[in-house]
Amino acid sequence: MRDRTRTRMMVETVPGLDGLTTEMTTWRRDLHAHPETAFEEERTSDFVAEKLRSFGLEVHRGLAKTGVVAVLRNGEGPSVAFRADMDALHIHEETNLPHSSRNPGRMHACGHDGHTAMLLGAARYLTENPVFQGSIAFVFQPAEENEGGGRVMVEEGLFERFPVERVFGMHNWPGLEVGRIALRPGPIMAAYDIFELTLTGRGTHAAMPHLGTDTILAGSQIVSAFQTIPSRSVHPVDAAVVSVTQFHAGDTWNVLPATSVLRGTVRTFRPEVQDMVERRMGELASAIAGANGVEADFRYERRYPSTINSAGETELARRAAVRVVGEGAVDLDPMPSMGAEDFSFMLQKRPGCYIWVGAGPSDHGRNLHSPHYDFNDALLPIGVSYWVRLAETLMPKAA
């Protein structure tokens, strides 16, 4: 098995991190062992708030139920926000590690435990080494997975209570080598939508299909037709994914059910493509259902917008990244991901940049959302160093 901690790139972390890295590792593994899912991050929120208070920071709680925001003020100057996500996933862990989940059916399978530990480490380091003038809001967000905690924090007044000028986030990225950082201006992650299609016909004996209307047949045709949208309705240089992930129909062998339900997800980057895909899905569902003599009830819900980095803030993030991993290890043109991020809601309100930090090989199932995934602790000093260098890049030096 490969050594995940081996760093091939030349990484220059900020000085004095040895002891803090050991502490962050302890924090991260404690959080990993006690995963909590969307808006239920009570223990996690308590853990984060207690650490932040122990650093001497001003701590605020209650946004989006379990969110935590700590503010570090050091004189007059710019005000920025650094964000980490805290929630876990509904996955049964299969790593068999000493710090495996103690909460059955819940797991930190996306590295939010590591993101939280790195931002806590940055908060402590910057509190002890306030080399800048200005203010930093450390935002610990709940419910990134599926439930839009970032949207809720914004709606509940995040930027009114903490009027920052810019906002920044990061995510560990398996498959990208440890010691590399990837970022790009413009879209870096896709919009995330969901859909549900209910087909209603006349159920009948499976041996007498002519007496009913077959919702399974209609649904099967619709599944195939949906796949023609990316290939025939979307411009070839644009991107779209339409995935039917659920097909619920029937309960036994010899009955054609009166109802079938299809559910799934759509991913796009441009709003015009998003609009067109939604429209075409509704048209195809209605037309094919009608041709099969069944009724279609199509529901489409827009969950997360595309994550779009602003050009100026991406350049500032690049400068900070170069100071940590070097010019040659910063990828400025990574292929955008069709995955989604609710940090996008914060970027809709404030300019900013979202980066990917290399997490090493993704073999042996160690990819995001896998039951075999575990955050690579070798990233902890890299993440803290990026946050520190970003603070120094964004704000003037302390007098």
Same domain, 122 and 162: yes
Rounded to two decimals, the pTM is 0.92
- Interval 198-207: pLDDT, tens: 999 999 999 9
List the CATH number of the domain containing 259. 3.30.70.360
Q: In what order do the strands lie in the sheet with 240-249?
A: 240-249, 259-268, 191-200, 295-304
Same domain, 260 and 275: yes
Same domain, 102 and 212: no
> Do the domain assignments include residue 12?
no
Q: Please identify which residue in the block is written with the tokens 């070097």.
A: 326
**How confident is the model at residue 6, as a pLDDT?**
41
Tally the domains of the chain.
Answer: 2
Residues near 231 by beta carbon (within 8 Å), at least 6 away in sequence: none
Q: In whole angstroms, give the CA distance from residue 226 to residue 241.
A: 10
Residue 375, domain extent: 18-189+311-394
Residues near 208 by beta carbon (within 8 Å), at least 6 away in sequence: none
> Do the domain assignments include residue 399?
no
Same domain, 293 and 344: no
Same domain, 281 and 364: no
- Last residue of some domain: 304, 319, 341? 304
**How confident is the model at residue 145, as a pLDDT?**
96
List the CATH number of the domain containing 178. 3.40.630.10
**How confident is the model at residue 366, as a pLDDT?**
79
Residues of the chain with confidence (pLDDT) below 50: 1-8
DSSP secondary structure string for all residues of 165-177 = SEEEEEEEETTSP
Same domain, 166 and 67: yes
- Last residue of some domain: 304, 332, 365? 304
Same domain, 40 and 153: yes
DSSP secondary structure string for all residues of 238-295 = S-EEEEEEEEEE-SSSSEE-SEEEEEEEEEESSHHHHHHHHHHHHHHHHHHHHHTT-E
Q: In whole angstroms, give the CA distance from residue 150 to residue 152.
A: 5
- Last residue of some domain: 280, 304, 328? 304
**How confident is the model at residue 9, as a pLDDT?**
57
> Do the domain assignments include residue 291?
yes
